[in-house]
Amino acid sequence: MERQIYPFKPFKSKSDIGLQTSLTDSFAPSSFPSPIMAAAAAHHPIGHPLFSRIRLAGPSDIPHIHKLIYEIAVYERHTHLFSATESSLSAHLFSYPPFQSFTIFILEVSHEPFPENSPHNSNANYSPVVRIVYSEVPVDDPEREIFKSEDENVVVAGFVLFFPNFSALLGKPGFFVESVAVRKCYRRKGLGKMLLSAVVNQAVEMDYGQVELVVLEGNETAIKFYEEMGAQILTEWRVCDLTGDSLRVLHTNDCIDHYGEL
């Protein structure tokens, strides 16, 4: 299956963004004290509250990140290509400051307000996004124990991995979204939009020009989701991928061309 390139529209300010302004505003980074969030949930007329938080990932999140990446490979039928290990992820993901290289936002959820004394409530590089979403029925998470987070009664529900790139046409940097996932039982609650909005908001704050991602051509649900968020489809482009044996063969041939036979 082919992958299509989906860039969010180049933007200069929040009002010129590829997502609806109301969406980015509603998920703008902020932190609410737990009592206020609890009161808001208690007075909401319908639905079951689900407290949601987006924060920067750290080394302790590697096991959950590894599991989520594998779930993506299963969904895309790419398990034969899956070779990532917790060790390989640890060796590369947190070697540089956030937003200067590979960066991951972790999505966490809880049926209760997040602990006020949580070490994840503040970060020198990023202020966590904290929101309440509502579900018509309680969420049944069969893998709650597997994805249990460090905070009590908190579960990892998804992640987004992105890194800086550069647009020669715009003359500005941007972000490329390598992977984004929300676990099945937490989908269709606005959490995917919350994750991508966090990336877009960060791009705007850093005066970046765009956010790009790719999606499998046959994944109609994801395609519709990105289009509704304002993504433009570049159907005239194709993703070219050199990996595995192809990468090594090209390297070997290049060495022969430049230096003679090895």
Pairwise CA distance, residues 133 & 141, whole Å? 16
Contact (CB, 8 A) for 1 and 217: yes
Strand ranges, E, within 151-218: 155-167, 172-182, 211-216
Of these residues, 6, 126, 208, 226, which one is catalytic?
226
* b/e sequence 210-219, b meaning 16+ C-beta within 10 Å: bbbbbbbeeb
Q: Which two tokens stand for residue 58?
A: 């750290």
Residue type, 169: L
Q: Please confirm, yes or no, whether 259 is among the known catalytic residues.
A: no
Distances in whole angstroms, Cα of residue 230 to Cα of each of 18, 28, 32, 63, 134:
5, 17, 28, 33, 24
Inter-CA distances, 186 with 39, 53, 134, 239, Å:
23, 13, 11, 30
Rounded Cα distance, 156 and 153, in Å: 10
Spacing of C-alpha 104 from chain mean position: 7
Cα-based distances in Å from 219 to 18, 30, 75, 226: 21, 32, 10, 11
Residues labelled as active-site residues: 226
